[in-house]
């Protein structure tokens, strides 16, 4: 008896070779989903395959976020005229290895993917007034050579501490490595008080790299404008709230915050930005 295939391919995009960009929909500052959504919109992405959710998610109902019922999805898009495949997905809740291999099966067998980029945000204890940095990890010397041509932070030494599991992006890089598929994960440190909100500067940083690396020719003006608008909103918040201003001032001058101060800052920024959107 053959095992049920956990993915469905319903389009036939033709690729000689392509690049896969992976974004998860539960990510710091919505980085993964915003990047893939922006690329989809700018490049006219068309859905052509999906991972079926029943093997990887509990499906005991739905969660509600911002008033709207959510449903786990893992969808592939191709962008006409570009050798680019996008995969936007909720992170699976179980059977991760099979899920990631399903992603790689579609990428390898249907799209002839030669290069993979994952996108992720990480928590940063600094402020939004510092420029965002793009960090990259690779799964092979070949990929490291590719990344060395760009202005990226690459000298990263890290071991996940006891009790903290590796990220899904690391798992995907490893699974790709076993297939000799070159992959890199792109990371942007997100100021901690924007992790639960949005960070257009971070989105822009990733998109800028992908645009350059993959020669996409996308217009990033809308992202720049969004980043400027958000900076302005936070400036208004600082102006209206001396307490919040003092916390950000402390961070800017390299001082830490107490836990209560950090929590107040997070709550105030998230609530203020939510009201503004």
Return the number of the residue (72 or 91) whose C-beta is nearest other proteins.
72
Applying CB under 8 A, the span of 47-55, 115-123, 124-132, 229-237 interacting with other proteins comes to 47-55
Q: Does 71 bind other proteins (CB under 8 A)?
A: yes
Q: Do 198 and 29 meet the contact criterion of CB atoms below 8 Å apart?
A: yes
DSSP SS3 for 237: helix
Decide if residue 63 touches other proteins (CB under 8 A): yes
- DSSP letter for 113, please: E
**Integer Cα distance of 78 and 80 in angstroms:** 6
The correct pick among 53, 91, 191, 200 for binding other proteins (CB under 8 A) is 53
Among 5, 11, 44, 59, binds other proteins (CB under 8 A): 59
Q: Is 1 in the site for other proteins (CB under 8 A)?
A: no
Q: How far is the CB of 50 from other proteins (least distance, A)?
A: 9
CB of 58 vs other proteins, minimal distance in Å: 6
Interface pick for other proteins out of 11, 41, 44, 58 (rule CB under 8 A): 58
| Beta strand pairing call for 18-24 and 113-124 | parallel
DSSP state of 54: G
Supply φ then ψ for residue 255, to 5 degrees: -90, 155
Question: Which residue, 26 or 108, is less far from other proteins as judged by CB?
Answer: 26
Minimum CB distance to other proteins, residue 267 (Å): 11
Q: Which stretch binds other proteins (CB under 8 A): 54-62, 140-148, 184-192, 243-251?
A: 54-62
Helix (H) or strand (E) holding 212: helix 200-214
Using CB under 8 A, pick the residue from 66, 149, 164, 253 that binds other proteins: 66
The 10 Å CB-count burial string (b at 16+, else e) for 179-208 is eebbbbbbbbbbbbbbbbbbbbbbbbbbbb
State the minimum distance, in angstroms, from the CB of residue 52 to other proteins.
Answer: 9
Report the C-alpha gap between 215 and 264 in whole angstroms: 42
CB of 61 to other proteins, least distance (A): 4
94 in contact with other proteins (CB under 8 A): no
Query: Cβ closer to other proteins: 207 or 266?
Result: 266
Q: How far is the CB of 249 from other proteins (least distance, A)?
A: 28
67 binds other proteins (CB under 8 A): yes
Let me know how long the chain is: 277
Given candidates 14, 65, 151, 221, which one binds other proteins under the rule CB under 8 A? Answer: 65
Please identify which residue in 17, 46, 70, 160 interacts with other proteins, judged by CB under 8 A: 70
Measured over the CA atoms of residue 207, residue 209, residue 214 and residue 219, the dihedral's sign is: positive
C-beta of 38 vs 57, nearer to other proteins: 57
- Residues that bind other proteins (rule: CB under 8 A) add up to a total of 19
Q: Which of 122, 129, 130 is nearest to 238 (CA)?
A: 129
CA gap 206, 120 in Å, rounded: 9
How many of the other CB atoms lie within 10 Å of CB of 82?
A: 19
Residue 147 CA: distances (Å) to CA of 133, 217, 224: 14, 19, 24
The contact set with other proteins (CB under 8 A) reads 53-55, 58-73
């Amino acid at each position: 008896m053959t095992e049920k295939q956990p993915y469905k391919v319903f389009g036939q995009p033709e690729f000689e070779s392509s690049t896969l960009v992976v974004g998860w929909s539960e990510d710091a500052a919505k980085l993964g989903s915003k990047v893939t959504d922006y690329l989809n919109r700018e490049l006219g992405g068309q859905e052509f395959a999906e991972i079926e959710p029943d093997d990887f998610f509990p499906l005991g109902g739905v969660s509600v976020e911002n008033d709207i019922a959510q449903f786990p999805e893992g969808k592939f898009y191709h962008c006409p005229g570009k050798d680019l495949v996008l995969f936007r997905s909720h992170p699976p809740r179980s059977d991760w290895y099979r899920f990631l291999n399903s992603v790689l099966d579609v990428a390898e067998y249907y799209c002839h993917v030669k290069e993979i980029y994952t996108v992720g945000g990480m928590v940063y204890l600094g402020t939004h007034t510092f420029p965002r940095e793009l960090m990259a990890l690779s799964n092979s010397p070949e990929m490291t050579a590719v990344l060395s041509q760009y202005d990226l932070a690459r000298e990263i030494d890290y071991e996940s501490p006891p009790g903290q599991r590796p990220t899904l992006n690391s798992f995907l890089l490893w699974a790709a490595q076993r297939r000799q598929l070159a992959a890199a994960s792109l990371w942007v440190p997100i100021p901690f008080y924007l992790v639960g909100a949005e960070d257009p500067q971070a989105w822009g940083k990733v998109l800028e790299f992908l645009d350059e690396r993959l020669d996409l020719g996308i217009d990033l003006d809308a992202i720049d404008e969004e980043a400027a608008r958000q900076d302005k909103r936070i400036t208004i918040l600082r102006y209206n709230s001396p307490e919040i201003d003092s916390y950000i001032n402390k961070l800017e001058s390299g001082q830490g915050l107490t836990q209560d101060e950090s929590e107040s800052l997070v709550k105030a920024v998230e609530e203020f930005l939510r009201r503004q959107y």
